[in-house]
Structure 1
Amino acid sequence: MGGALGDALGMPTQLLSAAAIRRAYGFVDRFIDPAGDHPVSRGLPAGMITDDTEQTLLLAQELVTGGERFDHAAWVERLLAWETDVKARGSYDLLGPSTKRAIDLIRAGTPAKEAGREGTTNGAAMRIAPVAIAMPAEPLTALIDKVAETCAATHATTVAIAAASAVAAAVSAAIDGADWNAAAEHGIAAAIRAREVGAWTAAPDIASRIRWARDLVSGQSEEAAIASIVDLVGTSVASQESVPAAFAVVVAAKGDPWRVAVIAANLGGDTDTIGAIAATMAGAASGFAKLPAERVAELRGLDIAEVKRLAEGLLRLRGAARGARG
């Protein structure tokens, strides 16, 4: 639910520059309708979730349905059916480039387990929370293996898997009681462990980038932190920019989930995904009770009762995984 807040708040500002956001909306600290000429979000109502949350729920459904064994073929079928629905709704432009490319390859006959070998962007990290809920933070190797399994069809590269592993480990550690700072350290450890998992791609080291981005904004004001993230870390869909940016946003907001969403929405670039990732991590550390109830009630496009059911199912998988390891 933290991720949904970050996603929906960033929906009208995504793909715009920080300066364009100021001109169009001022400082965004509430759900707003996108501008009528927005390149991808025009026509969506304030508070509407996007593909970030939809894919997260889609992965949660697959994990809960499949149980302890991840059914790769069934996951691909879910993705293909979802893509068809997204096109029918006229929201195809919201899809990320790696997911689009992989789905096109699969439809053209490429085996699903090979389709993600060029996926380097942040789509895996944005939807990874269900794996984090279903898998204990330790042992890290088991968590990373599950992350990589769910990345195979769309984001099977070293940079994407390391980024998704960092987010998953941070969220899983937070569920086990770590505060947002300790959870981030667990995420960095996972990124180090996962740096050679998947198809190699030329990209900066995710763990080093996360640590540097967190240190960069530590002690800065929100305004200065936003400038540092925009000018130095980067806010594009590239995993090596948006995922370190999300970790930095959590530092800038001192772990407050709603403030995380606000800061992310005003960055420019891939605001909805950075907000979704950052608020997922902050929300996992704070707990649902710390999310602003009035903002949760304003969310559009998801059934909170269904989200609760999926979360409970994922927690049962977590308990089973922990029990199987003694």
Structure 2
Amino acid sequence: MQERERTDLLDRFTGCLLGLAIGDALGTPVSGWTREAIAARYHWLDRFVPLVTEDGTVIIPAGEFTDETELALSLVESAISARGYLDVAAAGYRFLRLLDGPTARFLDEPTRRALTAAAEHGDFQRGVAGPGTATGSAAARAAPIGLLHALSRFNPDLLVRDVLRATLITHAEPEVVNGALAVAYAILLLVQGTTPPDVLLDEVARFIDEDAVAQRLRRAALHPVLADDDELVRALVALGTSAAVDEVVATAFASFAAAHDDFARAVTLAINIGGATDTRGAITGALAGAHLGASRLPTALVEGLEGRPYILLAARGLFQAAQQRAGRFVRLLVR
């Protein structure tokens, strides 16, 4: 029974990171598109497609993840090297590598500004604030923080502290921290399997600070269960499709809640409403993957994901780091 429990938990860790990367890779090629534009081009986008220019030049091949996943993996790597604890400086220096990499073009403006400044002054706790900085990118990379805390005795103060430190690398707006906390806490609950998905939104809204993120989550929780995808899309669009953190988090959670036992449907709902499809897709994928586990993700999407072997290794490493943090490290046998 104990071995089965460990296997199930590892499956959820792996599912969370794979789901995040799949959602990112599915959503990136249509990021910023309207739902009408997506429908006109793909009818219903449910497969990996490349990101191409107007003349057909391929910028990102089909199935390749970008900055949302790479930033999350930077946090994973820092936690593994610190044996289960968040090393902000190590994570920050890993973030800086993205400025010179191929995915730099996908970084949102607040993230790029913060990292450019950090490269000069070396302080990774001076995220940017002010008008236009309350975006959802920090929420997308918060999933590993929830995983890191999922095996330990729950300490809300420690969870909040780690989310704050991870967020402040790039963002200092309170709403961004709150959005990241919503994602981290939800991932923790889903991995532990103690909170049914149909009450997840209410539980998360109660836990986080009272602001626009919590208010929009409550709006999402009031949505009726709809079987028709067209009706669901219209309801999700009404929640907001911009890159603002409250809209991104609420629509991601609502997409998951609408199809929590069907990974592909949850993630494609998140993407086909348009707008911030990469960030929303990543968050929805992380939620659904943490709930279902890697073993229940669609084979075609898992096998079509570029970089899958590294994510599998990262998930195992993070699982062992979380066990070390919890004081219950058990050597896992690779079959």
Return the TM-score normalized by structure 1.
0.86
Alignment check: 8 A CA contact 1:165 1:190 kept: no
Task: Give the whole-Å Cα distance in 1 for the aligned partners of 2:167 and 2:123.
Answer: 14
In the other structure, the counterpart of 2:37 is: 20
Q: What letter corresponds to residue 140 of structure 2 in structure 1? A: M
**Quick one: which of 82, 94, 107 aligns to 1:66?**
82
In the other structure, the counterpart of 2:136 is: 122
Task: Give the whole-Å Cα distance in 1 for the aligned partners of 2:299 and 2:227.
Answer: 28
Q: What letter corresponds to residue 116 of structure 1 in structure 2? A: V
Aligned pair in 2 of structure 1 residues 216, 314: CA closer, same or farther (>3 Å)? same
Return the TM-score normalized by structure 2.
0.84
1:67 Cα deviation from its structure 2 partner: 2.4
After superposition, the CA RMSD in angstroms is: 2.3
Task: Give the whole-Å Cα distance in 1 for the aligned partners of 2:175 and 2:264.
Answer: 28
**Quick one: which of 225, 242, 247 aligns to 1:241?**
247
Task: Give the whole-Å Cα distance in 1 for the aligned partners of 2:202 and 2:235.
Answer: 21
Range that drifts further, 129-138 or 162-171: 129-138
1:224 aligns with 2:238: no
Aligned pair in 2 of structure 1 residues 281, 70: CA closer, same or farther (>3 Å)? same
Aligned pair in 2 of structure 1 residues 186, 146: CA closer, same or farther (>3 Å)? farther
Structure 2 gaps of 5+ residues are 1-17, 329-335
% same residue: 29
Alignment check: 8 A CA contact 2:164 2:177 kept: yes
Range that drifts further, 273-282 or 98-107: 98-107
Task: Give the whole-Å Cα distance in 2 for the aligned partners of 1:183 and 1:252.
Answer: 12
Q: What letter corresponds to residue 238 of structure 1 in structure 2? A: A
In the other structure, the counterpart of 1:210 is: 217
Any idea what SS the aligned residue of 1:52 has? helix
1:43 Cα deviation from its structure 2 partner: 2.4
Alignment check: 8 A CA contact 2:67 2:104 kept: no
Task: Give the whole-Å Cα distance in 1 for the aligned partners of 2:305 and 2:55.
Answer: 20
1:108 Cα deviation from its structure 2 partner: 4.3
1:64 Cα deviation from its structure 2 partner: 0.8
In the other structure, the counterpart of 1:133 is: 147
Any idea what SS the aligned residue of 1:43 has? strand
Determine which structure has greater relative contact order: mean sequence separation of CA pairs < 8 Å that are 6+ residues apart, divided by chain length.
2
Task: Give the whole-Å Cα distance in 1 for the aligned partners of 2:214 and 2:273.
Answer: 22
1:42 Cα deviation from its structure 2 partner: 4.9
1:320 Cα deviation from its structure 2 partner: 3.4
Aligned pair in 2 of structure 1 residues 52, 217: CA closer, same or farther (>3 Å)? farther
Range that drifts further, 179-188 or 305-314: 179-188
Any idea what SS the aligned residue of 2:30 has? coil
In the other structure, the counterpart of 2:71 is: 55
Structure 1 gaps of 5+ residues are 196-203
In the other structure, the counterpart of 1:298 is: 304
